[in-house]
Structures are given as C-alpha cells and as structure tokens.
Homo-oligomer: A and B are copies of this chain.
C-alpha cells in the first residue's frame, strides 16, 4: 500500500488565502517525510480534489487520506465532499479513500484557537 495525505480546503479568489494552507502542508510534510502531502481545493483554486487524486493514482498511490481543513461541518463537508468522494471511489476502484473529521472540530485545535482569541484582548 502506497499512502498519500491530501489537505482539502475550500479555495478563494484571493491568492493570499492559500498561504496558511501551504504552510500547513509544509509543516505536515516535514513530519511525515515518507508520505506525499498535498493540497486540493473544493472550488476557486487549483488543483481540485479529483485532479489531485487522479495524479496520485497515476503515481501508484493506493490509499489516500483526505483531511478537510475546514473550521466546521457545513454543506461543503456534509454534502459536496461525500458526493465527490463517492465519484472518486467509482473512478479509482483500486484506491482506498478515507476522509477524516474537520480540522476545526479537533479539541487541540480548538484549544489553540481559544488561546489566540484570549490573547487578542
């Protein structure tokens, strides 16, 4: 099994928006040097998730973990992402695709966000 990690973000028109996601990708990649870590977007930015998964499949990756870098579970994660993943599983039957919870719902992430909010006062 050849694994890969995809950090899945919303995307935005402003290029500045991608900076912390690219930073997150770098930080994560440094921690798991043997596993390719890449970004993919829902909309407005490239690459989109299907394009990224197709690239990884072409490279021989057989197991992908998608981490939604979203603050909460809105329609994008409840509706859009499951439909995209369902189609990806049809398109890549030899690939195991798992999807984690949203980054913003993790207790440690919430704790760090709390520290930041308190520090702004």
Interface residue tally on A, bucketed by range: 35 or more
B-chain residues with CB within 8 Å of residue A73 when the two chains form the complex: 14, 16-17, 19
Query: With A12-B75, A74-B13, A78-B14 given, is the CB distance from A114 to B20 under 8 Å?
Result: no
User: What are 30 sample pairs from A and B whose C-beta atoms fall under 8 A apart?
Assistant: A9-B71, A10-B71, A12-B72, A12-B74, A14-B78, A16-B78, A17-B72, A17-B74, A18-B72, A19-B73, A20-B102, A20-B110, A24-B113, A27-B114, A28-B117, A31-B114, A31-B118, A32-B118, A67-B117, A67-B120, A69-B71, A70-B71, A71-B104, A106-B112, A106-B113, A108-B112, A108-B115, A108-B116, A109-B113, A112-B112
